[in-house]
Amino acid sequence: MEAKKAMPPNKLAEHWTIDPKRAKRILANQQSAARSKERKARYIVELERKVQTLQTEATTLSAQLNLFQRDTTGLSTENTELKFQLQAMEQQAQFCDAVNESLKKEVERLKMATGELISPDESFNLGMHQVLGQQPATQPMMHMVDYHLHNNQTNYHPV
């Protein structure tokens, strides 16, 4: 469909003399079309400006997304490493608790053997090793500590 061309002024003047109402309507339509064309041009310029703004914003957001994804990946890796470290520390703590408990029992056994700790059924043995001239049995405990430390390869240091 071909757009109608605006009527040249000399033809419009000719219509003005023949049919003034029609000429007035043609002139009003031409002015309305010009205003509509201007509004359309302004609307297109505004849309182009919005497109440019949104493209800039999309580029910025894309860059931010890439940074966040990289940070998330790094933090996930660090979190996994920390979980492994925590698990290893928990295992080491359990091992240390077991060694500590074992050492406490050995100390208690040795105290019983040397008469430092009185059990109800061994109260008659109090100090008997001294009477008989025996040395207190401390060597087995040292061997047990060495055994636990060397065989389990831990950095356990009893407090």
pLDDT, average across residues 5-31 = 78
pLDDT tens digits, 55-91: 999 999 999 999 999 999 999 999 999 999 999 999 9
What's the gap between Cα 1 and its chain centre? 61
Binned at pLDDT 50, 70 and 90, residue 26 comes out as confident
Q: Residue length, the chain? A: 159
Helix, strand and coil content of the chain, in percent to the nearest 5, comes to 80, 0, 20
The residue with tokens 């023949």 is 18
pLDDT of residue 140: 47
User: What is the pTM assigned to this prediction?
Assistant: 0.44
Q: Which residues contact 130 (CB under 8 A, 6 or more apart)?
A: 115
Going by C-alpha positions, the residue among 21, 26, 33 that lies closest to residue 11 is 26
pLDDT tens digits, 83-137: 999 999 999 999 999 999 999 999 999 999 998 765 555 544 544 444 445 444 4
